Amino acid sequence: GDSVTQMEGPVTLSEEAFLTINCTYTATGYPSLFWYVQYPGEGLQLLLKATKADDKGSNKGFEATYRKETTSFHLEKGSVQVSDSAVYFCALSDATNAGKSTFGDGTTLTVKP
Amino acid sequence: NAGVTQTPKFQVLKTGQSMTLQCAQDMNHEYMSWYRQDPGMGLRLIHYSVGAGITDQGEVPNGYNVSRSTTEDFPLRLLSAAPSQTSVYFCASSLGHFNEKLFFGSGTQLSVL
């Protein structure tokens, strides 16, 4: 079945540091890939997505590239801010699995001033 | 725009009690789903629906029932609450069931004593 594996957290960075959160996936078909962000006390919201190999999703300074050869979708940001502190979820949606979304366990990011 | 609305936000139940978590969306989305979020386990799919009158089981359906009589509403019923059902529950919807981002409600925090 489908699965998503994220790097274990929590991750603590200083403001303006470089961020990488690793994500790899296993899927039967050819999935779409997503990063969602969850701020304290809120539901998840889409951060970015990519639908085919070599696509790069980007939003709010975050980027992730769909790498089919390594089955990866790592999230990066060049300079994090305190306001980026949140839980980040990698997810996939697979048409061969009725389009159901599969989520990773989430990575908690804390950015200190 | 209301988006996805979940009620209640908090609930405490005793073992064996039943209750219904409400979910409504005003975006005319065909696809709706329920997830539970537990520490270290990410989001797990409970039930989902690809349209009014159609529901199916997700990864962890035992102890939960759903129905979809209208496009807008997708209630989740706990038949006989157990402590193992203590969790945060999220309802989500999307325009389609593949390749589309999910819109999440703000969650229901449920404690079963």
pLDDT score, position B95: 85
Q: How far is B41 from chain A (nearest CA, A)?
A: 5
Exposed / middle / buried, residue B53 (Cβ in 10 Å: 0-12, 13-18, 19+): exposed
The CA–CA distances, whole Å, from A52 to A32, A33, B37 equal 7, 8, 28
Angle at A67 between CA A62 and CA A73, to 5 degrees: 40
Per-residue pLDDT at B48: 93
Measured between beta carbons, which residues in chain A are less than 8 angstroms from residue B99? 32, 51, 93, 95, 99
Pairing of strands A107-112, A11-14: parallel
DSSP letters spanning B61-107: -TTEEE--SSSSB--EEESS--GGG-EEEEEEEESSSSS-PPEE---
Q: Which residues does chain B have with pLDDT short of 70? A: 1, 97, 99
**Interface contacts (A, B; CB < 8 Å):** 61
Do A103 and B43 contact (CB within 8 A), yes or no?
Answer: yes
Q: How do strand B76-78 and strand B87-94 relate by DSSP bridges?
A: unpaired
For an interface test with A, which of B27, B31, B43, B109 has the most A Cβ atoms less than 10 Å from its Cβ?
B43
Q: What is the pLDDT of residue A97?
A: 66
The CA–CA distances, whole Å, from B60 to B26, B67, B84 equal 27, 16, 12
Place of tokens 């639908």: A51
What distance in Å separates residue B50's CA from the closest CA in chain A?
9
The pLDDT tens digits along chain A (113 residues) read 889 999 888 999 999 999 999 999 998 878 999 999 999 888 899 999 999 999 999 999 999 999 999 999 999 999 999 999 999 999 999 877 666 889 999 999 999 99
Find which of B97, B102, B103, B108 to mutate to test the A interface (most A CBs within 10 Å of its CB): B102
Instruction: Provide the pLDDT for residue A29.
Output: 78
B10: burial class by Cβ within 10 Å (0-12, 13-18, 19+)?
Answer: exposed
Give the per-residue pLDDT at B65: 97
Strands B10-13 and B108-112: parallel
* Cis amide prior to A10 (ω within 30 degrees): yes
* Closest alpha carbon within chain A to B101: A46
- Side chain identity at residue A43, one-letter code: G
Q: Looking at residue A30, what is its pLDDT?
A: 84
Spell out which residues of chain B touch residue A23, defining contact as CB-CB under 8 Å: none
